């Protein structure tokens, strides 16, 4: 079975994670795909497979006799899809010999346009898989699962020599909880790769340092007829806080290694207003300076309007995995070698976000991220190609082969 055929089966299973849930996994529906994957793993001959009560799958392929001294390599992907857009009743479109032009997405009224996604021109002649415009596709990260399973099935059927291979499938990655309950010791690998990136040939080993900042602003609400020198409008103070931030350091004005402040949410009234910001930067020093800017704003606002009017809380989210990958840079070099062998130019780029790999790297499992061959994740314009997925399967197999050499 080819990877895309597996993907077509997986996307039909509703696995959207739930940000508002406190359970693990966040949505019980994630177990449906997990149970299917356990059966599939066992069907292809991997009997050492376990699904735990938190919806994590751990599976092990023992080393070929004589290769027990080779490094144990892990392959990881996540089962949930993003809550940003509908993930239920996914109906993919398959376009054979794609002509490289705009694609009408079912009867949704949406069009996948080359003007907005110029890389589509480069996919001409391939078999393109899109949504019908009413849901996301779920290639993030069911494509990664499909590619891992296809690669290990081929490794086993071809009797390819290999060291120990560890496979892990996680829930709730899309709501930043995927690595939280991941048992690195039980997983059993020295190093791993998440297969959760974009185009084939992509390697990511740098991500943002990230935290979330929460402002709480206390106003004073009185009748407007007698408001002079008494009323304090918390909403206006919130607007003032935003005005004190660098206006050219937002997601929509930055790229590459440039960091930003992102106002995610602002709500409230005259009496009480809250603001939620994402703080992101690849550079550790700049990241700390961004936090200091917010603490300074809190201080200045309270000096101006009174102590306790503005309260700030900052919660750390994740850190740049670069510092954990650089000491074992063979992970990147060997991935590059495998990508070149597949006839692709390696694309090493920073993640403008976070990955399970970052969190796992800080849990003691160095874990760069590989592309899946997909594009435009988390929305109705998500798409992937059959040929891109085939190349990722080849890359995974070659990485395993390289570590066995």
Enumerate the active-site residues: 80, 173
Write down the H helix ranges in 306-351: 322-325, 330-341
Q: Which residues contact 375 (CB under 8 A, 6 or more apart)?
A: 117, 119, 198, 199, 382, 383, 384
Contact (Cβ atoms closer than 8 angstroms) between residue 8 and residue 150: no
Q: Dihedral sign for Cα 5, 81, 45, 397, please.
A: positive
Nearest to 283 by CA among 249, 236, 247: 249
Classify the phi-psi angles of 340: left when phi > 0, otherwise alpha if psi is within -120 to 50, otherwise beta.
Answer: alpha
- In 62-188, where do the E strands start and end? 73-78, 93-95, 103-105, 110-112, 128-130, 165-170
Distance between CA 98 and CA 121 in Å, rounded? 9
Q: Degrees (nearest 5) of the Cα angle 75, 346, 131?
A: 65
Contact (Cβ atoms closer than 8 angstroms) between residue 389 and residue 3: yes
Distance between CA 243 and CA 241 in Å, rounded? 5
Contact (Cβ atoms closer than 8 angstroms) between residue 334 and residue 403: yes
Distance between CA 311 and CA 307 in Å, rounded? 9
Nearest to 268 by CA among 244, 246, 237, 303: 237
Q: Are strands 73-78 and 191-197 parallel, antiparallel or unpaired?
A: parallel
Contact (Cβ atoms closer than 8 angstroms) between residue 259 and residue 290: yes
Strand partners, 267: 274
């Amino acid at each position: 079975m080819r990877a895309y055929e597996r993907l077509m089966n997986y996307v039909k299973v509703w696995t959207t994670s739930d940000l508002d849930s406190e359970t693990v996994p966040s949505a019980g529906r994630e177990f449906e795909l997990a149970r299917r994957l356990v059966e599939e793993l066992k069907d292809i001959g991997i009997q050492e497979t376990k699904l735990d009560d938190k919806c994590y799958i751990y599976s092990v392929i023992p080393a070929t006799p004589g290769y027990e001294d080779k490094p144990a390599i892990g392959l990881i992907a996540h089962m949930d899809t993003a809550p940003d857009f509908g993930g239920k009743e996914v109906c993919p479109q398959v376009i054979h010999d794609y002509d490289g032009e705009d694609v009408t997405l079912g009867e949704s009224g949406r069009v996948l346009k080359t003007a907005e996604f110029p890389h589509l021109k480069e996919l001409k002649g391939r078999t393109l898989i899109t949504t019908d415009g009413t849901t996301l596709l779920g290639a993030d990260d069911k494509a990664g699962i499909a590619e891992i399973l296809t690669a290990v099935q081929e490794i086993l059927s071809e009797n390819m020599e290999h060291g120990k291979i560890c496979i892990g499938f996680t829930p709730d990655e899309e709501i930043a909880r995927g690595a939280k309950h991941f048992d690195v010791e039980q997983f059993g690998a020295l190093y791993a790769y998440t297969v959760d990136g974009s185009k084939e040939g992509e390697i990511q080993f740098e991500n943002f340092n990230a935290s979330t900042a929460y402002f709480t602003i206390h106003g004073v609400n009185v009748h407007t007829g007698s408001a002079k020198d008494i009323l304090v409008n918390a909403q206006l103070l919130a607007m003032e806080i935003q005005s004190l931030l660098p206006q050219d350091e937002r997601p929509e004005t930055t790229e590459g290694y440039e960091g930003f402040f992102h106002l995610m949410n602002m709500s409230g009234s005259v009496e009480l207003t809250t603001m939620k910001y994402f703080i992101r930067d690849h550079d550790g020093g700049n990241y700390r300076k961004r936090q200091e800017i917010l603490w300074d704003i809190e201080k200045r606002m309270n000096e101006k309007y009174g102590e306790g009017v503005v309260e700030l809380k900052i919660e750390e989210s994740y850190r740049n995995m670069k510092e954990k990958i650089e000491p074992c840079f063979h992970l990147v070099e060997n991935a590059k070698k495998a990508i070149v062998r597949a006839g692709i130019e390696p694309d090493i780029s920073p993640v403008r976000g976070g990955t399970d790999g970052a969190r796992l790297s800080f849990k003691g499992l160095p874990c760069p991220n590989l592309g899946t061959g997909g594009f435009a994740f988390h929305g109705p314009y998500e798409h992937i190609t059959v040929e891109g997925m085939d190349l990722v399967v080849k890359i995974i197999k070659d990485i395993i082969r390289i570590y066995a050499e």
